[in-house]
Amino acid sequence: MSSDFEADYTALVADIMGLPEAVRSVKLLSTAKAALFLNLSISTLEKRRKKHEPPPPAPNYQGGRKGDDVKYLAGTLVEFIRGLPITQPNPYPETVHSALAVNAEAVRRNALATTGARRHLMKYGDGLSLEDEDARMPFFVSQDGLVLAPCWDEQQQTLELFLADSTEVVWMPWANAMASVWHNESDRQGWMATSDKLAPGLRQRVAAMRLARLSRI
């Protein structure tokens, strides 16, 4: 895990752990936000649910019916990271509750993400292949699909957007994010300016992607 990403990730974990227990115990998070917080992939959380492995989803979990929006309690995720017994009601009646207490240090060691936003951009200048350039990273997105910011940017902004019920986390290639519509166009332009310095040629690729999307409207 890069030092940049580790610092951003650790800050988010510390901020969530620092919330009052009364808040953590009722704060529901989407699967995407839970994955971001645990530094796991969404598919890994889905596999853990199918195997009834920790961390468990919220107590009202209905077995992962297709189309259901599976939620997690922030307090349960904190207990999982700390290696404490899970105190929420068990959503898996047939599973021994003590099996839900697992230390998440291994989760951090097997991190999904390895870079923060600007560090990811720096990789473009190292002659990486197209496959590497298309590596997905998390962005906060509004309910109407507008990109708000890279998840690993400013600490306070990350916390606010993470806790907001009106936002979601979406993983996408950097170029795709730059080609998307943002809530604040000046923010997108700012990141494009950074891209120009670190990834020559990316602007042309983004422009072509935006033109292709417009032609389909």
Domain boundaries, the chain: 3-109, 117-215
Residues of the chain with pLDDT under 50: 1, 97-99, 101-117, 119-131
**Whole-angstrom Cα distance, residue 199 to residue 128?**
11
* Residue 65 pLDDT: 60
Provide the H-helix boundaries in the chain.
Answer: 3-17, 21-24, 31-38, 42-50, 74-82, 105-109, 117-122, 130-133, 155-163, 174-179, 185-198, 202-215
pTM: 0.81
* Residue 143 pLDDT: 95
Q: Which two tokens stand for residue 147?
A: 């990109």
- The residue to which tokens 């940017």 are assigned: 153
* Residue 95 pLDDT: 57
**Whole-angstrom Cα distance, residue 60 to residue 146?**
30
- The residue to which tokens 């590596």 are assigned: 135
| The length of the chain, given as a count of residues | 217
* Residue 100 pLDDT: 52
Contact 194, 118 (CB under 8 A): yes
Contact 74, 27 (CB under 8 A): yes
End-to-end CA distance of the chain: 40
Residue of 163, 171, 149, 172 lying closest to 41 (CA atoms): 171
**Whole-angstrom Cα distance, residue 16 to residue 155?**
12
Q: Partners of 170 in the beta sheet?
A: 139
> Is 134 strand, coil or helix?
coil
What per-residue string of b and e applies to 31-57 under the rule 16 or more CB within 10 Å gives b?
bbbbbbbbbbebebbeebbeebbbbbb
